[in-house]
Amino acid sequence: MPTTLPVPIQFQLPEGWLPAAAPEDVAYAAVHPQPDAGFAANITIDGGFPKEDVTLDELAEASADRLRSVAESVVVTHRRELGSADAPALAQRLTFSAVVGDARLDLVQSQIYLILLDTEDPHKRALIRLALTATAAQHDSVLEDFQDFVRTVRPDTGAED
C-alpha cells in the first residue's frame, strides 16, 4: 500500500506521463510512456516530517545511503540548495547501476527536496521529495518534463484556482 504525504499537495503531470502503481514507500508514481532498454522512466513523490535540526544536505545524503543499500556504484554527481528561507529546497542528482529484470542498467535519479513550513509554527516542517529515475541514455530527454512537473507542485489548500 502506498504511503501518504505529510501535507496535501497538488501538481500537474507532464503531457503523456501515466499514473502508475506506487511502491510501498511512495505516495504517488507516474511513468513515461516510452521505456528505454525495458525501463520506464518514472516520477515518484514521497515525504515525511524530518526532525527540526536535520538539514536538507543530511536528508539528501541519507537518501543516497538508502539507494546504496539496493544499487551499485551510487555517486552523487550534483547537489545544490534552492529556494529561500521561507521555502527551502535542494536538488540532487545520483548515478547508479541496478539490475532491472535480467539486465544491469546505468540509471540516473534527479531528486528535489521541498520543505514546507507551518505558517503558524515555523518549527514544524514537512518534507516533500520528488524524484525522476531514468536510464542514463533517456534521462536528459525526460528531464525537462520533470522540471515542468516540479514547477507545478504546491500545497493543496483546498481552494479552487
Tens-place pLDDT, residues 73-97: 999 999 999 988 778 899 999 999 9
Residue for grid cell 534527479: 110
Q: Give one DSSP letter per residue of 138-157, joined into a string.
A: HHHHHHHHHHHHHHH-EE--
Whole-structure pTM value: 0.92
Mean pLDDT for 48-75 is 93
**pLDDT above 90 coverage of the chain, percent:** 70
Q: Can you read off the three cell numbers belonging to residue 69?
A: 543499500
Other residues' Cβ atoms within 10 Å of the Cβ of residue 33: 9
At residue 1, the pLDDT reads: 44
| Helix H or strand E segment including 56 | helix 56-68
Q: Do residues 86 and 66 make contact, with C-beta atoms less than 8 angstroms apart?
A: no
Q: How far apart are CA 85 and CA 102, in angstroms?
A: 45
DSSP helix, strand, coil percent of the chain (3-state; round to 5): 20, 45, 35
β-bridge mates for residue 99, sequence order:
104
At residue 101, the pLDDT reads: 83
Mean pLDDT for 22-45 is 94
Tens-place pLDDT, residues 87-138: 889 999 999 999 888 889 999 999 999 998 766 676 678 999 999 999 999 9
At residue 159, the pLDDT reads: 66
